[in-house]
Amino acid sequence: MPMLRRDKVIITCAVTGSIHTPTMSPWLPITPQEIADASIGAWEAGASIIHLHARNPDGSPTPDPDVFMEFLPRIKQSTDAVVNISTGGGHGMSLDERLAGALRASPEMTSLNMGSMNFGLFPILDKITDFRHDWERHHLENSRDFIFRNTFKDIEHILKVLGEGHGVRFEFECYDIGHLYTLAHFLDRGLVKPPLFVQSIFGILGGIGADEENLMHARRIADKLFGDAYYWSVLAAGRHQMNFVTMAAMLGGNVRVGLEDSLYIAKGELAKSNRDQVAKIRRIIEDLSLEVATPAEARGMLGLKGGDLVGF
């Protein structure tokens, strides 16, 4: 395998997700038009990869491929960004539902979660008592008794149907140190191929905590397991977002921001757009004398199939 390129920082932007609800921020993209506009704005600000979920008109998460197809073509027509579709979906979705959008769209990348876990959103209920939609309270409360399922069989299935079937490459989402070892297991079996794009995730209740020691430990273990066969990226939930991704960039890693991961741009200040978060981390990266990767450079680094081979 050729030497991996380390002189560029890939910015991923996760524009809406399935965690935050409309009551939490008036600037959370909901409609296909809003998701497309948010994606284009993030790309204009410097994001190379756009990580995407879909939502119903009331803001609730949906796996419906038809909804994805309302915004994916517009993003492709307006940008050269790498489209990365979530296979995590939303709480309560079956594996088939979680894969439906990606199977329809055949994107260059999808996420792939590397283990089952508790995924607690319910503490938000201590801060918000009045919701715009009934589903929001149930969505948060249901996470108290919810296991985000990603078994070895599930992972094998995704690798087969999307990896082998569609030439998709993966954002391997690792919410704990054990998830890194699971990824190493699939690498040892030859079911995943370098270069790996490893996304270390901090600050989700049920996953590894947002402590600086954990960031360093995750990097050390990933280096031990994958050596020169991977690119490392970091995201952190809520108030930890910017400081953790800044540390990742300083350590030679890549970064992910977006309203899926944090609704804020600064302490106590809601972000008015995904564009603003991307612009902020790009400014930080460049102030560190680092360079941001273009979409074309990201494609080359990660070995993607190219935007002309997607299904939208």
Percent pLDDT > 70 in the chain is: 99
Spatial contact of 83 and 45, defined as CB atoms under 8 Å apart: no
pLDDT tens digits along 177-228? 999 999 999 999 999 999 999 999 999 999 999 999 999 999 999 999 999 9
- The phi-psi region of residue 206 (left if phi > 0; otherwise alpha if psi is between -120 and 50; otherwise beta) is left
pTM assigned to the model = 0.96
DSSP string, 259-278: TTT-SEEETTEE-S-HHHHH
* 68-90 confidence digits (pLDDT tens): 999 999 999 999 999 999 999 99
Burial of residue 175 (CB within 10 Å: 0-12, 13-18, 19+) is buried
